[in-house]
Amino acid sequence: MAHWLLKTEPEAFGIDALARAPRRTATWDGVRNYQARNFLRDEVRRGEQAFLYHSSCALPGIAGIVTVTRAAFPDPSAFDRKNQHFDAGSEPAAPRWYAINVQLARRCARIITLEELRAHADGKLRGLALLQRGNRLSVQPVSDAHWQFIVALE
DNA sequence: GCCAACGTTGGC
DNA sequence: GCCAACGTTGGC
């Protein structure tokens, strides 16, 4: 099974909000980047796990692990005129954007910081998408080797 | 199809 | 708030 990394801004929806959600489950919606959309739509499978990464905050890093409980389905927020992610170009008959459902598997004992991950950028974490220069993807693949190494950092 | 302008992301 | 990097838009 593949592994993933999902970015979120904790002020918008972070691990605390997920922990409080019913069944600790939420719809991962609002992705409006085609490359990230393609990962969601074509590759992310039910039962796979992902790191939940906090960005644009005081301590950027991996905050926890989530399990995908529902594979891709048309992103409802794209159809909702009142939603900030509304996209008139996406229609139910031909959806442009996709969402998944995720459930919090567990919090990390501590935030595994971007700084710490970066310390291994030329070693065990060489090639990790998160560490690529200019990377902005909100859905990223994580290799098995990288996954195991990062889990062990905790 | 090119590419400049613009908007967004996200670390610092 | 700054700014580098990237994606998207739109004129041509």
pLDDT at A18 over 90: yes
Residue-range domains of chain A with CATH: 3-144 (3.10.590.10)
Q: What is the pLDDT at residue A82?
A: 85
Round to whole Å and give the CA distance between A45 and A68. 7
Q: What is the pLDDT at residue A21?
A: 97
Distances (CA, A) of A46 to A40, A50, A80, A95, A130: 11, 11, 25, 20, 22
Nucleotides on chain B that have an atom closer than 7 A to a protein CB are 8-12
Instruction: At A93, list the tokens.
Output: 């008959």
Q: What is the pLDDT at residue A106?
A: 97
Confidence of residue A14 (pLDDT cuts 50, 70, 90): very high
In chain A, which residues from 4 to 43 place their CB closer than 7 Å to nucleic acid strand C? 33-35
pLDDT tens-digit series, residues A69-128: 999 999 999 998 888 888 888 888 889 999 999 999 999 999 999 999 999 999 999 999
Round to whole Å and give the CA distance between A45 and A69. 9
Q: Which nucleotide is nearest to A32 (CA to C1')?
A: C7
First to last CA, chain A: 21
Q: What is the pLDDT at residue A80?
A: 87
Round to whole Å and give the CA distance between A56 and A116. 16
Q: Which nucleotide is nearest to A136 (CA to C1')?
A: B9
pLDDT tens-digit series, residues A23-73: 999 999 999 999 999 999 999 999 999 999 999 999 999 999 999 999 999
Q: Which residue is nearest to nucleotide B10 (CA to C1')?
A: A56
Is the minimum distance from the CB of A38 to strand B below 7 Å?
no
- Å separating the CA of residue A133 from the C1' of nucleotide C5: 8
Name which of A4-8, A46-50, A135-139, A148-152 the model is least confident about: A135-139
pTM comes to: 0.94
pLDDT at A142 over 90: yes
